Amino acid sequence: MRRRLGFTLVELLVVIAIIGVLVGLLLPAVQAAREAARRMQCSNNIKQLALAAHNYESTHKRFPIGFTDFLSTNNGPADGGWSWATRLLPFMEQNALFQSLDMARHPYGTFSTPNNAAACSVILSGFRCPSDISPTTTANNAANVNGIANIAVSSYAGVIGPFDGDMCDISGTAMIPAPRSTGPLVVNQTRKIGDLADGTSNTFLIGEVSWRPTITIAGATHGSVRQFVLGNIVNTGGVNCQNRGVGNNGSHLHLRSTRKKLNGPIQGGDKHLAFHSYHTGGALFGMCDGSVQFVSENIQHTNTNWTDFIAATGGAYGAYQRLAGISDGLVVNLE
């Protein structure tokens, strides 16, 4: 009799098991390679933003204003609402988009222009980290006359300093920078290279902010979904740099501090005021010298607030916060 050639059931099961094991071993390596590529692209984005800021400084002899909010009344047509990112557009091959803007008017809403509102919806790849899970655009108070249906979302925020809290103070009807804002990108004020006494290579300029869907824990809302590219206003028709709630518009949509822990917890971490990323172990920061550094989420962090810092005349003050101040004299070198 002729013997029939083929595999037995046991042999097939063994081969399938071996293939399954190999795939199981290979997938993490593939995922790690993909994340490495995404992280490299994100690093390149921040590099381009930091270089654009330097080109801006070379042209204007100062870094851009972090956020504009000129009136405390929140109802003026020239009240501001524009972020640092807007001023970098000409240095990122987006001069046509920049030229379409009327920055004497609001980004969108009653006191805006059609071109301004359209620009706020433009998706700019240079402001998006591939690891971020955010949508490309999102609605912002869309049901209100001063809202917008589709506003482009950013993965990066400017560094306002080591402390959170109000990012501006009121003087009459004018908004002025808060003393606690000791970083390179602040409200209604510019910084010169000479102001960075701690050194450009030792000071954060731009950091990562990732999309963290809002959730409710013990009756409190947590998350970070309102980080936009060009600007924002409140639904009463103006801007307010003093707003800092999870569901508020304000300067914290474009500027963050290092008061809260990097990649901190959802509850108690104030994600909407902090820096965070989906990169394992930390986040990328652009330095004031144009370089990019990956900062470990385990970097020394003391959660020092402004009041305690002043009372202690520069007392307990962790390395993570010190890297956000331009001239505190407490230099940290990441190299």
Domain coverage including residue 275 = 37-322
Residue 215 lies in a domain: yes
Q: What is the DSSP letter of 15?
A: H
The pLDDT of residue 29 is above 70: no
Structural domains counted in the chain: 1
Residue 76 lies in a domain: yes
Question: 133 near 140, Cβ under 8 Å?
Answer: no
3-state class (DSSP) for residue 259: coil
The sheet carrying 282-287 orders its strands as: 255-257, 156-161, 204-208, 282-287, 292-296
Residue 2 lies in a domain: no
Residue 47 lies in a domain: yes
| Nearest Cα to Cα of residue 243 among 182, 307, 175 | 175
Q: What is the pLDDT of residues 128-152, one digit of tens each?
A: 999 999 999 999 999 999 999 999 9
| Nearest Cα to Cα of residue 180 among 199, 167, 194, 193 | 167
Instruction: Print the SS3 string covering 88-143.
Output: HHHHHCCHHHHHCCCCCCCCCCCCCCHHHHHHHCCCCHHHCCCCCCCCCEEEECCC
**From CA 129, how far away is CA 127, in angstroms rounded?**
7
Residue 328 lies in a domain: no
Residue 62 lies in a domain: yes
State residue 83's pLDDT score.
98
**CA 302 vs CA 11, 128, 155, 313, 320: distances in Å:** 60, 30, 25, 15, 8
Q: What is the pLDDT of residues 221-267, one digit of tens each?
A: 999 999 999 999 999 889 999 999 999 999 999 999 999 999 999 99
**CA 243 vs CA 105, 168, 172, 249: distances in Å:** 20, 10, 18, 7
**From CA 43, how far away is CA 70, in angstroms rounded?**
33
| Nearest Cα to Cα of residue 260 among 305, 207, 214 | 305
Q: Which band of pLDDT confidence, cut at 50, 70 and 90, is reported for residue 213?
A: very high
Residue-wise DSSP of 156-211: EEEEEES--S-SEEEETTEEEE-TT--SSSBBTB---GGG-TT-GGGSEEEEE---
> How many C-beta atoms surround the C-beta of residue 67 within 10 A?
32
Residue 32 lies in a domain: no
At residue 67's C-alpha, the angle toward residues 122 and 118, to 5°, is: 20
pTM value is 0.90
Residue 12 lies in a domain: no
Q: What is the pLDDT of residues 46-79, one digit of tens each?
A: 999 999 999 999 999 999 999 999 998 887 888 8
At residue 199's C-alpha, the angle toward residues 193 and 202, to 5°, is: 125
Q: What is the pLDDT of residues 157-194, one digit of tens each?
A: 999 999 999 999 999 989 999 999 999 999 999 999 99
